[in-house]
Amino acid sequence: MREELLKHRREEFIEPPTPDRIARIAARLAPEVLAERLMPAVHAYGTNSGIRSTPVRR
Task: Write the pLDDT tens digit of every residue in 4-56.
Answer: 766 666 666 666 667 777 778 778 888 888 888 888 888 888 787 777 776 66
The pLDDT of residue 33 is: 83
Q: What is the pLDDT of residue 8?
A: 64
- Enter the pTM of the model: 0.45
Sign of CA dihedral 32, 22, 53, 44: negative
Q: With contact defined as beta carbons under 8 Å apart, do 51 and 40 qualify?
A: yes
- Measured CA to CA in angstroms, residue 45 lies from 3, 7, 29, 50, 52 at distances of 36, 31, 22, 7, 11
**pLDDT tops 70 at residue 58:** no
Task: Give residues with Cβ within 8 angstroms of 29, minimum separation 6.
Answer: 37
